[in-house]
Amino acid sequence: MITINGYLHRRELRDLIRRSMYGNVRPGDGDLLARLVHYNQLFVSRYLHLFAERLFRELHGADLRWRRIGLKGEIKDVLVRHPPYRNPRIVELIGNYEAHPGRFFRETPCRTMLFFRGRDESEDYLGSWRIKRIRRLAEKTARRIIDWIFDAIKSKADRLADERAARLSIPRDLLLSSPEEMEAEFVDAEARFIEDIRRQREIRGAGDLSINDVAGIKVVLEEGEQGRLHEALEAMGACRIMEEERHKGRYNAVNLVVRIEPSPEEVLRAPSPEAIRTVMAARGVPPRRVDDDFAAFVLSGEKDVYLEIIVSSYEEMLESEIGRCMHEDRIIAQRLRQRYRGHLAKNVEYLLRYLFLFSLSTRGELPDLPIKLWDRYLPDYFDGVIGELFQIPSGDF
């Protein structure tokens, strides 16, 4: 169904998501979810930091420092504090930010590490790495699946129109359809698709859906220096550029998708953090066994993973954080542009969010799924599902 290429055991996760869409839960799925999410998040943070540190050292030398942050406001503050150069647009952006910082989504949570060169107040910001948070990963996974479902339903509706044209003995391109007829064919095709899911008929054609940016690195290099990134990646070895896309317009940057083979020995060198031990202990893994459990997870997974690298100039990085193509504004625009908004689309959102959030709860077993794609729910119901999952009072007596 969909593959998260920055994770290990991604085929297992893909299969679990596919089965969940059919409402097919197996014994042990709760523990499997916990391992797939928590161990992968730890694995991603380990290999991403190792790779990013090497990349920034290759680009800028050994005088390197880093700092972990948890809110987007911290990176916005860093970008405006010591601009490497100024021009009228940069002065305007920084002035707008300093005048009204609360308008720039400063409280947005993130899992990010910032990299610097220098040891005094004039430190140079070099870039960062970030891991897509679990809620955002669930949202993006759902959106990709919803887009595919819309295309699949539209294809079914087109076939119904072909059948109508055949009954009238006319070519399809001569078929005149009223808005009501087109809507009826789409509704009919949607109902057939939902019935296929309810009856657990195989969903075909979605095998190539993938997410490559659960792990990402941002690199600040001016226009004339950006070729150095390819040189640095080549010098590092053990990585291969799989995709390259240059964005022009409101958003100006180069996006690379890179395949790497992390060293298991380096990833497993440090003991597991206390937070992971606590979470897994609630799921029956004794704290003393978590390191061995995590090691078995890493060593039995795929050898390669994918990550995203974005390179842009300082000014364009500033535009992406506080300017015309601010990341948070782009997220909102993506949500508003969603083509398909029927109850099936909403159920996919609910289901994916529930699966990923389940791993954060203290529930051990997943006896059944409270979201069935073929049923209909109000948001109030899903609010209650999440409240019950985390034992949050509903506010009603």
Question: Would you kindly state where each structural domain of the chain is located, as residue ranges?
Answer: 2-126+213-335
Closest CA to 276 of 287, 284, 265: 287
Give the integer Cα–Cα distance in Å for 173 and 31.
Answer: 53
**Taking residues 264-271, what's their average pLDDT?**
96
The encoded tokens of residue 275 equal: 């937070």
The encoded tokens of residue 327 equal: 């990341």
pLDDT tens, residue by residue, 146-195: 999 998 888 878 777 777 778 777 776 666 677 787 778 888 888 989 99
Q: Is the pLDDT of residue 128 over 80?
A: yes
Q: Residue 55: which pLDDT band, with cuts at 50, 70 and 90?
A: very high
pLDDT tens, residue by residue, 358-372: 998 888 788 889 999
Say whether pTM exceeds 0.75: yes
pLDDT tens, residue by residue, 275-300: 999 988 888 889 999 999 999 999 99
pLDDT for residue 51: 97
- Phi/psi zone of residue 246: left (φ > 0), alpha (ψ -120 to 50 degrees), beta? beta
Closest CA to 280 of 36, 45, 109, 46: 36
pLDDT for residue 370: 96
pLDDT tens, residue by residue, 289-331: 999 999 999 999 999 999 999 999 999 999 999 999 999 999 9
What is the DSSP annotation of 155-184?
Answer: HHHHHHHHHHHHHTTS-GGG----HHHHHH
Give the integer Cα–Cα distance in Å for 104 and 106.
Answer: 5
- Phi/psi zone of residue 237: left (φ > 0), alpha (ψ -120 to 50 degrees), beta? left
Under a CB-based contact definition with an 8 Å cutoff, are residues 68 and 113 in contact?
yes
Give the integer Cα–Cα distance in Å for 354 and 360.
Answer: 10
Average pLDDT, the chain: 91
pLDDT for residue 119: 63
